[in-house]
């Protein structure tokens, strides 16, 4: 698996702003991970679309376990806001649905820079609205949560914020795995910089592509970068997880603290020695198995 990842990764890191090379690399890595992963065929999967607020048809994929699910979870994939797909995360979604016993809806949201903010978050909101309207058909308890990792974690948090402000819901929880929450993160501690699987240059490129001319200004709204929200009151309960050797460690911990300050129930896990994407790069490791078990337990608690 590591060999496949290494083969897909350029030996010279691409320049800031080169989203094309990063997209090709990320999609190649996700493809290698998917090919190496065991596929769980006990899950039923079906593709369909829902309209976003601007009329765009958002592709969704529903995963259902064979037994009655205990909740309906909207899942938002990673990819730095510039890459990723339903197929690249198919094995991930199947595993969560199977192990946690939830129905899961994966969102194939629009990518930057072709579709900058608010395209991606609008697509995720449309998926949540559909899930809430149809939850009783797919999960007897009709509890709906949102989950995502990396850029998907940031979009999941932003979607939860938009749903609060528009009174869509309520959402039962937000599950944010090493989330990309703050567009202002543009430096890294020198002690962890050699271990960054998602670098400062990568992060700047992703946020620039998503925010366009707003990047680096005070004109970035909280619905784009949720760390900028003035108030986090009445947000859904949160599960947050990040590795200690991850560029997103500090912003994740800060966000968890702010949620708690605003009265939100929070489960926070900082994985010692873990890099960004540790569970995808080494899914058989003890660290990844423990982290996955914690996420499944949280999903089952819904």
Angstrom distances, CA of residue 245 to CA of 5, 66, 178, 181, 270: 19, 38, 11, 16, 10
What is the rounded CA–CA span in Å between residue 290 and residue 168? Answer: 33
14 burial level (CB within 10 Å; 0-12, 13-18, 19+): middle
Structure tokens at 57: 């048809």
What is the rounded CA–CA span in Å between residue 152 and residue 145? Answer: 14
Is 276 in the active site?
Answer: yes
Q: 77, 91, 138, 276: which one is catalytic?
A: 276
Give me the helices (H) in 101-227, please. Answer: 119-138, 151-166, 200-211
Is 98 in the active site?
Answer: no
State the pairing for strand pair 57-64/44-51: antiparallel
Q: 85, 150, 237, 269: which one is catalytic?
A: 150
Q: 108, 183, 246, 279: which one is catalytic?
A: 246
- Residues belonging to the active site: 150, 246, 276
């Amino acid at each position: 698996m590591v060999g496949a990842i290494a083969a897909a990764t350029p030996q010279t890191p691409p320049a800031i702003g080169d989203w094309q090379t990063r997209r090709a690399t990320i999609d190649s890595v996700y493809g290698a991970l998917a090919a190496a992963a065991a596929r769980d065929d006990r899950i039923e999967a079906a593709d369909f679309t829902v309209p976003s607020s601007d009329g765009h048809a958002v592709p969704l994929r529903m995963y259902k376990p064979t037994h009655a699910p205990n909740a309906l979870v909207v899942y938002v994939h990673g990819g730095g806001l510039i890459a990723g797909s339903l197929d690249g995360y198919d094995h991930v979604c199947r595993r969560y649905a199977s192990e946690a016993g939830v129905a899961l809806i994966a969102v194939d949201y629009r990518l930057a820079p072709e579709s900058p903010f608010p395209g991606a978050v609008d697509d995720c909101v449309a998926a949540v609205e559909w899930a809430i309207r149809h939850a009783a058909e797919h999960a007897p308890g009709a509890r709906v949560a949102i989950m995502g990792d990396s850029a998907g974690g940031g979009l999941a948090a932003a979607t939860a914020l938009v749903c609060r402000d528009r009174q869509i819901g309520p959402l039962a929880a937000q599950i944010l795995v090493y989330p990309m929450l703050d567009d202002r993160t543009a430096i890294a501690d020198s002690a962890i910089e050699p271990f960054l699987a998602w670098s400062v240059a990568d992060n700047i490129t992703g946020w620039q592509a998503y925010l366009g001319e707003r990047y680096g200004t005070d004109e970035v709204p909280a619905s784009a970068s949720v760390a900028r929200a003035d108030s986090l009151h009445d947000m859904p309960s949160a599960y947050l997880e990040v590795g200690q050797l991850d560029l997103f460690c500090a912003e994740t911990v800060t966000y968890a603290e702010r949620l708690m300050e605003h009265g939100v129930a929070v489960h926070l896990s900082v994985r010692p020695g873990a890099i960004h994407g540790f569970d995808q790069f080494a899914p058989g490791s003890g660290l990844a198995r423990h982290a996955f078990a914690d996420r499944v337990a949280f999903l089952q608690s819904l």
